Structure 1
Amino acid sequence: MGYRLSKIYTRTGDSGETGLADGRRVGKDHPRVEAMGEVDTLNCQLGLLLADLAKQQARWPGLAEVSDVLLPCQHRLFDLGGELAMPEYQAVDEREIARLEDVIDRWNDEVGPLKEFILPGGSRLIAQAHLCRSVARTAERRCQHLNASETLRPVLLAYLNRMSDLLFVAARVIALRQQVAEVLWKAAAKPE
């Protein structure tokens, strides 16, 4: 593969606009740019989670499967960002959603039903998985906002929705496999 970025700075964005793959110039706060940025943020946060998982796999070998499931998600998120930048580029498909759903179902069976609300904590890995889940929801909202004015393929919106579900269940699986108790929400006492 050839080099795609021969020059990192172009100065063309200094005025608050950026170029899209189709040649359009739009504001850096355009809904498409916002959606692309939030998907990129999710990918970055997922990278941190994967790096932390790699450091802990020797201690908790069950975390290797979590990494194996999440690593392809980074590539699909990059594909999704590519599709946001170049709508004619279509790489995310229903098979990937089915893969996520299979894992969600399998992991959900492993952790059992949720009886209480849980908080993002217990270990750094659990909290990072929840942070990724939260960013996935933000990316989904940004894409839904864009979809209101420029129709996106439904598979992209479904993929982000499944990603947040996967990351929620991943946080629970990490807790189970690390043998860390989930942090249960304690409601504030009712006022007298």
Structure 2
Amino acid sequence: MEAYGAVDELNSQIGVARAHIKAKKLNAILKGVQRDLWVLGGDLASELLTANVPRISREQLDRLESVTDELNSGLPRLRRFILPGGSISGAELHVARAVCRRAERRTVALSKVESINPDVLPYINRLSSLLFVLARTVNKTQRVPEEEFVREK
């Protein structure tokens, strides 16, 4: 219950971010992720051996990695950690990334007590990377500079 509740929360947070993103390509990417998350939530809520249940697949994972790599190639290389934030939609995507990490922790806990689809955890893990790259992309598109974390002396 905790795992798919966290996935549902993640889906909702992505919806909030989408509501503020004007770029059609980025919005379409996030809409696809939301559809995947509906499948993933159902996947987690169903016993692994149940027939006719849509499941997250390696194909969806590969697509996620491909989009992440494509978007990341258009960003400046990171030299330091960055502070989450920037534009409203960039900050919302950083929140979605943090919620995604929580969903991952809850799913790991679930996987210790019952069998789950082996593609679910890698998908959630890679999704957090995509959300980070999307936050950076949105901030770049909106010309909002990233703030690097600099340790105070």
CA distance in 1, matches of 2:60, 2:132: 17
**2:55/2:117 contact within 8 Å kept:** no
- Summarize deviations over 1:134-189 as a string: whole Å, max 9, x none: 10010011000110111211101111011101000001111111111012112122
Whichever structure has more strand as a proportion of its residues is 1
Residue in structure 1 matched with residue 102 of structure 2 by the alignment: 138
The alpha-carbon deviation at position 68 of structure 1 amounts to 1.1
Query: Which sections of structure 2, spanning at least 5 residues, go unmatched?
Result: none
1:79 aligns with 2:39: yes
Name whichever structure is richer in helix by fraction.
2
Counterpart of 1:118 in structure 2 is 82
2:72 & 2:11 partners in 1: Cα distance?
23
Please tell me whether residue 104 in structure 1 is matched to residue 72 in structure 2: no
State how many pairs are aligned.
149
Q: Larger RCO: Structure 1 or Structure 2 (Cα < 8 Å, ≥ 6 residues apart)?
A: 2
1:179 to 136, 143, 146: 143
Mapped partners of 1:145, 1:90: distance in 2: 22
Mapping of residues 145-164 of structure 1, within 5 Å: 145-164=109-128
Query: In structure 2, what is the equivalent of residue 47 of structure 1?
Result: 15
Q: Which has the larger radius of gyration?
A: 1
Q: Identity rate of aligned residues, in percent?
A: 39
How far residue 112 of structure 1 moved from its aligned partner, in angstroms, is: 2.8
Aligned partners of 1:146, 1:188: CA distance in 2, in Å? Answer: 39
Which stretches of structure 1, 4 residues or more, deviate above 3 A after TM superposition?
none
The Cα of 1:102 is off from its aligned counterpart by: 0.8
- TM-score, with normalisation over the residues of structure 2? 0.93
TM-score, structure 1 normalization: 0.75
